[in-house]
């Protein structure tokens, strides 16, 4: 008789069994795995956060440098402007250092004349202080390429060259350097040197080369000029400013601005306030009759009409200005009418081959040099301070020097 074999299934049925496909150690491995996953996740998140933060910090740093660079650029432009302005203010004012520097005899071509003057840059000093202690503005002005004027009759003081402003602006880590140049021209703008001491010189008076001057006029001795001096003065004058009809060469090296037509001169020179600023030598080529009416003449320069005639009507001249007005053509007329203004005409009237016509009651503080002067009506002529024989001009256009 056989004993029944117990069924395996009965074992299964009768015992509760927990299945674990991984084995007895699998629970401990799960726990460590979860912990590892969590740590890995935290590490990834922190890495992303740090990367993002560092990138933002880098962008902020770069942007701050960009903003500082833009501010330094504007400060450099401002420093150059103020440097040239400081030169313009004093270059034609006797007794100043720039006045003296510009009128030194020109060195050999290509030599560099460094002017070691401390520039005020007052405005830029205030601006740099507003940026805090990290900012600074430095400026150096140099005269470069000074050459004698290309003219056989050039005087030692007459020259051309360049004025360079070299500016360095530092704001924190940002440094900006800017170098700009303007052309410099130093020329005689007044009458010939031989005639400069005379307040009045009229060649058309009775007798050649006679001077007719009101009694007691300082600096204008009555009588006649020595014929030799007269010839030398006329030769000097016509050589410098001779018209095409005279046959003498025209010295173009002295000209700062040339306008083919009178309208072009008005369009480019008369500003909205009705001011005509004469700097250097301005030449008008157009023939005909021209008029300046109700304007203010400023500056130390000269206005020369090669072919035409000119009428100054109701023109005012500020105290500090000293313009020279000349008509060069033979027979040209330079007329001055004060109109309604009671202030004197301060300046110098020249018509070496023509005629000066003055209205009644006119007061002239300056000089008159003319072939003819119609003084049938009373005119008061007062001597003024000696006009500047040489005037410095800076070109309107500036050029930037690139070191690259």
Contact residues toward another protein (CB under 8 A) are 11-12, 15, 17-20, 23-24, 26-27, 30, 34, 38, 41-42, 45-46, 48-49, 52-53, 56, 59-60, 63, 66-67, 70-71, 73-75, 77-82, 84-85, 88-89, 123-124, 127, 271-273, 275, 277, 279, 298-299, 393-398
Q: Residue 200 CA to chain centroid, in angstroms?
A: 36
- Which is it for the CA torsion 348, 349, 351, 352, positive or negative? negative
Cα 215 to Cα 106: distance, rounded to the nearest angstrom: 42
Q: How far is the CB of 94 from another protein (least distance, A)?
A: 15
Contact predicate 376/357, CB 8 Å? no
Torsional sign, CA 305, 206, 224, 358: negative
Query: H or E element: which one contains 49?
Result: helix 26-90
- Give me the least distance between CB of 159 and another protein, in Å please: 18
The end-to-end CA distance of the chain, in Å, is 116
With contact defined as beta carbons under 8 Å apart, do 224 and 211 qualify?
A: yes
Q: How far is the CB of 71 from another protein (least distance, A)?
A: 7
Instruction: Say how far apart CA 354 and CA 351 lie, in whole Å.
Output: 5
Taking the least distance from each CB to another protein, the nearer of 98 and 201 is 98
State the minimum distance, in angstroms, from the CB of residue 77 to another protein.
5
Q: Which of 233, 188, 231 is nearest to 369 (CA)?
A: 233
Q: Which residue, 123 or 287, has its beta carbon nearer to another protein?
A: 123
What's the CA gap between 121 and 116, in Å, rounded? Answer: 14
Measured from the CB atom, is 37 or 114 closer to another protein?
37
Nearer to another protein, 68 or 357 (CB): 68
- Nearest CB to another protein, comparing residues 58 and 360: 58
DSSP 132-155: -TTEEEEEEEEEEEEEE-SSTT--
Between residues 24 and 378, which has the closer beta carbon with respect to another protein?
24
Report in angstroms how near the CB of residue 50 gets to another protein at its nearest: 9
Strand pairing class (174-188; 159-171): antiparallel
CB of 36 to another protein, least distance (A): 13
Measured distance CA(351)–CA(260) in Å, rounded: 20
Q: Which residues pair with 381 in a beta bridge?
A: 364
| Contact criterion met (CB below 8 Å) for 130 and 165 | no
**Least Å distance between CB 369 and another protein?**
26
Cβ proximity to another protein: between 82 and 337 the closer is: 82
Q: Which is nearer to another protein, 202 or 279 (CB)?
A: 279
Identify how many contiguous H helices and E strands the chain contains and give both numbers.
6, 20
Least distance in angstroms from the C-beta of 11 to another protein: 7
Q: How far is the CB of 158 from another protein (least distance, A)?
A: 19
Angle (CA) 325 327 330, round 5°: 160
Closer residue to another protein (CB): 143 or 205: 143
């Amino acid at each position: 008789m056989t004993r029944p074999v117990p069924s395996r299934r009965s074992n299964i049925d009768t015992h509760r069994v927990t299945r674990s496909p991984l084995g007895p150690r699998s629970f401990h491995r799960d726990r460590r795995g979860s912990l590892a996953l969590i740590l890995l996740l935290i590490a990834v998140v922190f890495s992303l956060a740090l990367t993002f933060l560092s990138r933002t910090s880098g962008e902020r740093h770069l942007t701050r440098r960009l903003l500082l660079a833009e501010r330094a650029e504007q400060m450099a432009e401002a420093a150059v402007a103020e440097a040239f302005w400081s030169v313009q203010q004093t270059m034609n004012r006797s007794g100043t250092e720039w006045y003296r520097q510009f009128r030194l005899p020109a060195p050999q071509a290509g030599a560099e004349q460094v002017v070691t003057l401390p520039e005020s840059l007052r405005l830029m000093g205030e601006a740099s202080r507003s940026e805090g202690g990290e900012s600074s503005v430095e400026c150096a002005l140099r005269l470069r390429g000074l050459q004698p004027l290309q003219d056989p009759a050039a005087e030692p003081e007459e020259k051309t060259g360049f004025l360079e402003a070299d500016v360095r602006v530092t704001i924190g880590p940002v440094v900006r350097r800017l170098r700009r140049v303007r052309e410099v021209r130093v020329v005689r703008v007044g009458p010939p040197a031989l005639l400069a001491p005379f307040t009045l010189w009229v060649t058309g008076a009775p007798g050649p080369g006679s001077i007719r001057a009101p009694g007691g006029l300082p600096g204008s001795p009555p009588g006649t000029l020595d014929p030799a001096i007269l010839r030398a003065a006329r030769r000097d004058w016509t050589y410098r400013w001779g018209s095409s009809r005279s046959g003498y060469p025209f010295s173009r090296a002295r000209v700062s601005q040339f306008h083919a037509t009178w309208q072009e001169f008005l369009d480019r020179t008369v500003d909205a306030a009705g001011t005509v600023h004469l700097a250097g030598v301005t030449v008008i080529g157009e023939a005909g009759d021209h008029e300046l009416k109700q304007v203010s003449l400023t500056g130390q320069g000269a206005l020369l009409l090669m072919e035409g005639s000119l009428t100054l009507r109701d023109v005012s001249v500020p105290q500090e200005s000293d313009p020279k007005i000349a008509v060069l053509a033979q027979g040209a007329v330079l007329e001055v009418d004060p109109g309604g203004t009671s202030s004197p005409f301060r300046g110098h009237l020249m018509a070496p081959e023509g005629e000066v016509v003055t209205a009644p009651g006119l007061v002239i503080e300056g000089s008159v040099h003319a072939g003819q002067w119609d003084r049938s009506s009373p005119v008061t002529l007062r001597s003024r301070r000696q006009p500047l024989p040489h005037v410095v001009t800076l070109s309107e256009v500036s050029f930037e020097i690139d070191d690259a």
